[in-house]
Structure 1
């Protein structure tokens, strides 16, 4: 009989491997996993020691998968996917037994927003028997998870595709993000016409057309054609790197300047750029679901009272992440 040994790799270490393999950057991977860079480095070192192989080559400038690390990725994904399936099955069983579980999707910046924290705090305070399971996902993963029923609702910036109910929480300005080397980055304020010859960073094709058009302000008020780069971005950090390296431009919520400060990019006000709305969405078909009704009630009451836009100012306890993100 095979026995589980203390040197067997843990699922969270395998998940760290997959994330680092996608980002090839310890800082970005650590941010996605809500870890510090030293903690992520330690996890990867322990995993390499347990497997007895080198998974990555590291220099001061670059992180790369070794050929063996690349070959092992499909097997690692199988293990992580099996763990996720087990967790989801357990959640479903708990729900079927009468225990209420609300599965919420978060983008990599939504957890730091004041509105998100207020909603979560109200939910857990008013409904102590409700289990809230968080999953940190990118733009594409979030849409896919909602469509597949893997999450019940998601904190997102609007717009959203058809078939979903959108409950707005806050509104804030949008800003332009430019490379620090772009001459326009020296101007304190811009107009859309100033950016007419700049290409917008391309989002992944799985992102809905409504979202792509909104975040590029396409069409522009003067009907000038909008050009896009060949990128397929799904996360903010990847978008910022595209801006930095390729002299492209992107529009983001104003809070991004606070959440993603980087020396290689600049955030600038654009006077005629429309604001954006942050809120919670869920499938229209699930509007009568008991956990969604609880969420909807909290969102509407807090929205009527007035929620602050932007990041939290005095963070207390962070939300407990779901097993998929630990």
Structure 2
């Protein structure tokens, strides 16, 4: 299979509409339809069920969508990392670190300071991203290393080192009755009247169904909480960044959150190795 065919198929599989997929790819619909039909004949498998009303993925199509995304990520990663290696050869080496905006701020600052003190330290370019985006950036090569948070992010296929495990708190509007308690349980905050948990976008950018407000980033979420439209369960390290109109209460039975530093197992970057070593010494 060619990467062009995989990109065609992923566009159709994600849009579930040949017209929208063709528009997304910047091409006409007939050649796109022919390319998908040819791919199906070569594979000996029906990838998409087509009716006059809808396009749906078959089981084989679901498998190819998952594998095609991984293959395209690998191709993109190879290109990105090759370009950075070429820059390093000209004396402009850097390491790209992806981290969730607003998360692990104190740990990140200490880690960067520790690495900067290492002999031969290079520039660290930070990619501050939305919820869950740092994993994808590491897979597709936009980042060399990332801070991920278990159990929320997947570390499958990465090498990792654990940096910190912490408990969780619920973030509420200052003055809410629950803020007078020393601690609460999940049952106290799940389904709290008027303060639903937020909905974050998935890998495809769509939001899950539910009653909570849609949130794209921490700044937007904190504003929603301050206005009395949501609450949020988060690692306790977020306390240091809270605004005066917000309060945090420990949640006794919330699962702990472990921050890990992750990198591709095939990485041979000296800068990545030195950064990981500095982080694990903290």
TM tier, shorter chain? Answer: 0.5 to 0.7
Structure 1 228/178 Cα, relative in aligned 2: closer, same or farther at 3 Å? farther
**2:116 counterpart (118, 121, 124):** 124
2:226 pairs with 1:244: yes
1:232 & 1:283 partners in 2: Cα distance?
32
2:100 pairs with 1:107: yes
2:204 & 2:233 partners in 1: Cα distance?
15
Q: What is the CA-CA distance between 1:89 and the residue it aligns to?
A: 9.5
For 2:242, the equivalent position in structure 1 comes to 260
Larger Rg over CA atoms: 2
CA contact (8 A) 1:178 1:247 kept: no
2:204 & 2:161 partners in 1: Cα distance?
20
2:170 pairs with 1:176: yes
Q: TM-score, normalised by structure 2?
A: 0.58
2:154 pairs with 1:157: no
For 1:71, the equivalent position in structure 2 comes to none
Q: What's the secondary structure of 2:117's corresponding residue? A: helix
Which digits, 9 at most, give the CA deviation of each residue in 1:157-200, with x for residues without a partner? 33321223332112222101123464333333212222243332
Structure 1 165/243 Cα, relative in aligned 2: closer, same or farther at 3 Å? farther
Q: What's the secondary structure of 1:205's corresponding residue? A: coil
CA contact (8 A) 2:213 2:229 kept: no
Structure 1 111/172 Cα, relative in aligned 2: closer, same or farther at 3 Å? closer
Gapped regions of structure 1 (runs ≥ 5): 1-86, 213-226, 308-326
For 1:290, the equivalent position in structure 2 comes to 270
Q: Which contiguous aligned blocks of 4+ residues in structure 1 show a shift greater than 4 angstroms? A: 87-92
For 2:50, the equivalent position in structure 1 comes to none
Q: What's the secondary structure of 1:185's corresponding residue? A: helix
Gapped regions of structure 2 (runs ≥ 5): 1-79
Instruction: Count the aligned residue pairs.
Output: 196
Which digits, 9 at most, give the CA deviation of each residue in 1:121-146, with x for residues without a partner? 23222233523222322235433322
